[in-house]
Amino acid sequence: MFVTAAYAQSTTTEGAETHDAAAGEVHTETGVAHEGGHGSGVFPPFDSSTFASQLLWLAISFGLFYLLMSRVVMPRIGSILETRHDTIARDLDDAARSKAEADAAVAAYEQELATARAKGNVIAATAREAAKAKAAADRTAVETSLNDKISAAEARIADIKAKALADVGSIAEETASAVIEQLIGGKVSKAEIASAVKASAK
Amino acid sequence: MAGDKVDPVHQFVVNKIVPIEIGGIDFSFTNASLFMVATLAVAAGFLYFTTSTRSLVPGRLQSVSELSYEFIASMLREGAGSHGMKFFPMVFSLFMFILTANMLGMVPYFFTITSQIIVTFALAIFVIGTVLVYGFYKHGLGFLNVFVPSGVPGILLPLVISIEIISFLSRPISLSVRLFANMLAGHITLKVFAGFVASLGTLGALGIGGAVLPLIMTVALTGLEFLVAFLQAYVFAVLTCMYLNDAVHPGGH
């Protein structure tokens, strides 16, 4: 607006000079015209006989215009602008509130997700712990039973071995007496053989 | 038509339409009165009917009304501050009335009421009167501060104050004569150049050839006159805002 006004200003000053020149030129012609044309020798805008009527009608029309503007038109335009301003402000508020709600919903969702994830982790951990404990218990049970079996077996082996070792002496004595009988055809007393076996077993 | 062949002043003659005389004073309804009423009807009618739908999203014409409202509102707020906004109806009415009157005056055969010195002078006195009445009512004798610019050395004060008083007194004259003279001179110039076209046209082929120049001039001047019509209404409103600023803030030079 101001650029236009400034531009217009410069144009008018130029224009005004033209006007002045033209107006000066005109005055002579005006004088002549008056004598012929209108009868009254006054330049019409300066004809004071019309002033009273012009003032009255200007007061009436401008007064009415002022009243219409200040009572009807301006409050109306003002209210239109205000309504628009309020509507825009309200819409912006609504939008801001909706955004806040959406943000809250997102936050709640994130929160729930985190809780669920934590819960899941807990459940998984518990299950893992339980499984681990069960496995450990099972293993211990199996190991215990195996150990029992092993020790039982070892006991038996030891028993058998002891028995076998106990038998070895008598077998050797019998074998020795049989061998001696075959070799020399005589009998050797049991006691001698037994002492000899014992001596060789040492 | 030969008698008053081209009389550029004829358009300013006030003719009685309905003679009225009250107490020996002539209050006739004249062609000037007719166009004052027409200005009232056109301006008020336009502003009234374009805003009658009160659309939230304005149409073109409603936008025009709203833009002029906001244009004057921002002009007044810049010129006289927010305290000056109580004069908004006055400045808005003045601007719309003068603008409409000037624009109506551009229509051929229409009477231009702002080319009557008494009309522009009455409007200027209305402005200055408002400034004086409001200034003294609001600030009492403090309103006289308007003649005392701050920061002037004491020895220069008498000189400066007398200059300020003269400039204040010349305001109604300059305000009214500026509008009056612009409209008057513009319309006379238009008429004179248009008259050249007509008179040269009667002089045969050579004359018709020569009439092209004033014709171009007339077209260009018509454009210029529309600009002047708006600009003078704008200038009147801006100066009104400045003068009202004195009434609102007398010390604020």
Residue type, A93: D
Residue B63: Cβ within 10 Å count: 13
Tell me, rounded to whole angstroms, the distance of Cα A107 from its chain centroid: 7
3-state secondary structure chain A: CHHHHHHHHHHHHHHHHHHHHHHHHHHHHHHHHHHHCCCCCCCHHHCHHHHHHHHHHHHHHHHHHHHHHHHHHHHHHHHHHHHHHHHHHHHHHHHHHHHHHHHHHHHHHHHHHHHHHHHHHHHHHHHHHHHHHHHHHHHHHHHHHHHHHHHHHHHHHHHHHHHHHHHHHHHHHHHHHHHHHHHHCCCCCHHHHHHHHHHHHC
List chain A domain ranges.
162-201
Contact A73 B27 (CB under 8 A): no
Q: What is the pLDDT of residue B6?
A: 62
- How does pLDDT run across A120-132, given as a tens digit for each residue? 999 999 999 999 9
Partners of A2 on chain B (C-beta within 8 Å) are: none
For residue A40, pLDDT beyond 80: no
Residue A200 backbone phi and psi in degrees, to 5? -75, -30
Calpha distance B123→B177 (Å, rounded): 11
**Residue entry with tokens 């092209």:** B212
pLDDT digits (tens, 9 = 90+) for A7-16: 444 444 444 4
Residue-wise DSSP of B187-220: HHHHHHHHHHHHHHHTTHHHHHHHTHHHHHHHHH
For B84-123, what is each residue's pLDDT tens digit? 899 999 999 999 999 999 999 999 889 999 999 999 999 9
**Ranges assigned E (strand) in B9-90:** 16-18, 21-22, 25-26, 29-30
Note the pLDDT of residue B249.
Answer: 86
Distance from CA of B144 to the nearest CA of A (A): 29
Residue A2 near residue B78 (C-beta atoms within 8 A): no
Give 10-residue mean pLDDT values along chain B (253 residues).
59 85 85 93 94 86 92 92 90 95 92 92 94 90 83 84 91 94 92 88 81 90 95 95 89 60
Query: CB pairs below 8 Å between A and B: how many?
Result: 183
**Burial (CB count <10 Å: 0-12, 13-18, 19+), residue B110:** middle
Q: What are A77-106's pLDDT values in tens digits?
A: 999 999 999 999 999 999 999 999 999 999
Phi and psi, residue B105, nearest 5°: -65, -20
pTM: 0.70
Mean pLDDT, chain A, as a whole number? 80
Q: What's the pLDDT score for residue B174?
A: 93
CB-based contacts of A189-195 (< 8 A; 24+ apart in sequence):
A194/A169
Is it the case that residue A22 has pLDDT exceeding 50?
no
Q: Do A57 and B122 touch (CB under 8 A)?
A: no
| Best residue of A10, A32, A79, A80 to probe chain B, by most B CBs closer than 10 Å | A80
How would residue A18 be classed by pLDDT, with cut points 50, 70 and 90? Answer: very low
Instruction: Tell me whether residues A34 and B9 touch, CB distance under 8 A.
Output: yes
| A58 contacts B119 by C-beta, under 8 angstroms | yes
ipTM tops 0.85:
yes
- State the pLDDT confidence band at A143, using cuts at 50, 70 and 90: very high
A65 contact residues in B (CB cutoff 8 A): 39-40, 43-44, 93, 96-97
Instruction: For residue B162, give every residue at least 6 positions away whose Cβ sits within 8 Å of its Cβ, in sequence order, or none.
Output: none
What is the rounded distance in angstroms from the CA atom of residue B34 to the CA atom of residue B42?
Answer: 12
